[in-house]
A and B are shown apart, each in its own frame.
Chain A
Amino acid sequence: MLFKFTIYRIKMFVRDKLALFWTIVFPLLFVFIFCGILGRSGEFKLSVALVIEDSGPIVNELVQGLEKGGIFTLKKGIDFEEAKENVEKGRIDAILVIPKNFSSSLFAGGASLIVYYDKTRTQNAQIVSSVFQQLALEISKKTLGLKKFPIEVNLEGITRKRSIENASYSAFFIPGALTMALMAMGLFGVGGGIPREREKGLLRKLATTPLRRLSYGLAFVFQSAILALLQAVIIIGIGASVFKVNFLIRPLDLVIILVLGGVTFASLGFLIGSIAKRSSSAEGLVNVFYFPMMFLSPVFFPASLLPPIIRKISNILPSTYLVGVLRKSLIIGSSFKQIFPDLLGLGAWILGTAILASFIFRWTEER
């Protein structure tokens, strides 16, 4: 009975346009608005650090050419170590090094230079090197009267040190949007759904069948857990494809996080749905949880922006645990051991709300 009920719950959910809107479309709207404005995907101007170790007219001409071209945001007067650190932190996309002896070896017949790039973005390296080659070719024709410019461009990757602070806004916000989506599923879907079923008389009808209360609750829990995976595929997928966020996907960890997250909010929703006897009062109660969780948890902005007292409240919210663990896993690629404490936090919420709900839930007012 539980299997069938879960399958049918998912069917009902997918057929209900309003439910799809709140749990998938609405969070996606936020993704498009926030990542579109605050994410960097709109402008396509790579930042490139120029490390110039040589001098001479050719070098000057190259630098001038790059400046005139306006394709890159150039950073000059920076040494290599500093530039590398910036790439590691994701602040600069590439480094162009013009090595010592560049001019002399050029006249000797063949020079080389190195483009260092952020390994997670190979396409950037190709853009930098091809722009540079194009420019070099023009200069060589004009200044040196050569048909070929004997420069070899070597590419070398730098591993970006991943951290949440250094992540792009899109990378930061998409786990937040996913958290919003799971919250909506549990709170609006389950928390609002139970009182609606109560008002329609469905709970009375179910009470006359051998269906157990536990099975009724578990069907919601399983529905939320399974749909959480679907929500994640869509939202992370759009983050990766439209906003070019490079997430680290550890499939098994991600599934565990999503299932626990889905169950956390389903269980909280079930508690709300057990307390609220009418859908009007459920709506109020849902909002009492939904909006504070959305704004007190670091869904949109880092927790450091919150006043210290509020941060204390924020730290124990289930939404804070979920968004935190999602970011750790997706952005930094933390190991299971590292995310385990956050999962425990979610587990504690599940346990607490489920136990309370099991005492409070009634099919009817009298039974």
Chain B
Amino acid sequence: MNESLVEVENLRKSYGKTEALKGISFKVNKGEIFTLIGPNGAGKTTTLEIIEGLRKKDGGKIRVFGEDVEKGISRIKPKIGVQLQHGALYEYLTVKEVLILFASFYKKRASIEAILKKMALKEIAHKWTKALSGGQLQRLRIATTLVNDPELLFLDEPTTGLDPQSRRYIWKMIEDLREEGKTILLTTHYMEEAEKLANRIAIIDRGEILSIGTPADLITKYGGKAGMYIRVIEKKEEKEYRINLKNSGAEAPQILQEFAKKGIEVKYVEIKTPNMEDVFINLTGKELRE
């Protein structure tokens, strides 16, 4: 059995009459990237902030490193790193100064130089954070979570609002952190991000977890069947066929042969395998809004 660093059991939270979390449960195992994915307002940030000790829960149990969050937060804080979804840093401090300042809050400290290098911040180490671009600032915000060399990281939508290049850059860094052995609880509303990074995914919508599993498991279970899209010239007329595949594409050559036998000229073929997007649509009945 894997060691769980985070255990959430039947967590409930309401804001006034709105039930933000309707009793969710999941575990984050040591060494994995666990991703909560869902649309805005699904309850991802609320979940994270309750685990981080920033919000109070209405019901349920949460343990981090085996400690109850409400009672043991002061013992938990030194071992976690938190990147919140929103929030600026001290604008009149330089990149390096921000890291030194945050490091000074901890007894156990990682090497600032190493963090600067790892997060590609070395060249802008002496820039005021005020002057950073969106991607640079986001890298710095993630870098601040590493100053205490934490075992467990919380990254709340680490790439939201970034351009595709910056996003890929940060993905690489998050993968490197997993390689180092860090456990990461990440939220996103980008399916691609979840598929690329997550060992396991929890799909959350309207305060409920609809399913948890590896990306492959979820796709097999809920992705639906692969489809084949064919455009042909039949009797001098262009026609389109959509065919559901049973064996995720293995029967495709056979289908094409049958067209050939009938003397139909095939102009274009596309096989569409299901992805997390399909899983999401099939589970929630709607597309993931951005």
Chain A residues proximal to chain B, CB less than 8 Å = 1, 4-5, 8, 11-12, 15-16, 200-202, 204-211, 363-364, 366-367
Contacts and interface: CB of A to CB of B under 8 A. Distances in A.
29 contacts: A5-B104, A8-B101, A11-B92, A11-B93, A11-B97, A12-B90, A200-B88, A201-B86, A201-B88, A202-B87, A202-B90, A205-B144, A207-B54, A208-B53, A208-B54, A208-B82, A208-B84, A209-B106, A210-B74, A210-B78, A210-B105, A210-B106, A364-B55, A366-B54, A366-B56, A367-B53, A367-B54, A367-B55, A367-B56
Nearest to A17: B92
Interface in B48-99: 52-56, 74, 77-78, 80, 82, 84, 86-90, 92-93, 97
Contact of B89 (A5, A202, A208, A210): A202
A263 B89 CA distance: 26
A208 B87 contact: no
Nearest to B147: A209
Given A5-B104, A209-B106, A211-B105, A12 B82 contact: no
Contact of B84 (A11, A205, A367): A205
Contacts of B106: 209-210
A202 B54 CA distance: 13
Contacts of B74: 210
Interface of B: 52-56, 74, 77-78, 80, 82, 84, 86-90, 92-93, 97, 100-102, 104-107, 128, 144, 148
A1 B109 CA distance: 12
Given A208-B82, A367-B56, A202 B88 contact: yes
A134 B128 CA distance: 64
A205 B84 CA distance: 7
A366 B56 CA distance: 6
Contacts of B90: 8, 12, 202
Contacts of A207: 53-54
A208 to B, nearest CB: 4
Contacts of A4: 100-101, 104
Contacts of B86: 201
A208 B88 contact: no
Contacts of B144: 205
A205 B87 contact: yes
Contacts of A200: 87-88
Given A8-B97, A364-B54, A367-B54, 10 more contacts: A11-B93, A11-B97, A12-B93, A15-B128, A201-B87, A202-B90, A207-B54, A210-B77, A364-B55, A367-B53
A232 B105 CA distance: 32
A96 B90 CA distance: 64
- Interface of B, secondary structure class, is loop
B92 A209 contact: no
Contacts of B128: 15
A144 B104 CA distance: 85
A202 B93 CA distance: 13
Contacts of A16: 92
Nearest to B79: A210
A8 B53 CA distance: 26
B104 to A, nearest CB: 4
Contacts of B78: 210
B99 to A, nearest CB: 11
A198 to B, nearest CB: 10
Nearest to A8: B101
A25 to B, nearest CB: 17
Interface core residue of A206, A210, A211, A364 (most chain B CB under 10 Å): A210
A16 B92 CA distance: 7
B93 to A, nearest CB: 6
A11 B93 CA distance: 8
Given A366-B54, A367-B54, A367-B56, A205 B92 contact: no
Contacts of A12: 90, 92-93
A188 B249 CA distance: 67
Contacts of A1: 104-105
A365 B15 CA distance: 12
Contacts of A204: 54, 84, 87
B47 to A, nearest CB: 14
Nearest to A363: B54
Nearest to B83: A205
Contacts of B88: 200-202
A200 B148 CA distance: 23
B80 A208 contact: yes
A200 B52 CA distance: 18
A197 to B, nearest CB: 8
Contacts of A211: 105
Interface core residue of B88, B104, B144 (most chain A CB under 10 Å): B104
A226 to B, nearest CB: 17
Nearest to A16: B92
A210 B87 CA distance: 18
B105 A201 contact: no
A288 B110 CA distance: 45
Nearest to A210: B77
Nearest to B130: A15
Nearest to A12: B92
Contacts of B87: 200-202, 204-205
A366 B15 CA distance: 11
A209 B56 CA distance: 17
B157 to A, nearest CB: 13
Nearest to A201: B87
B133 to A, nearest CB: 18
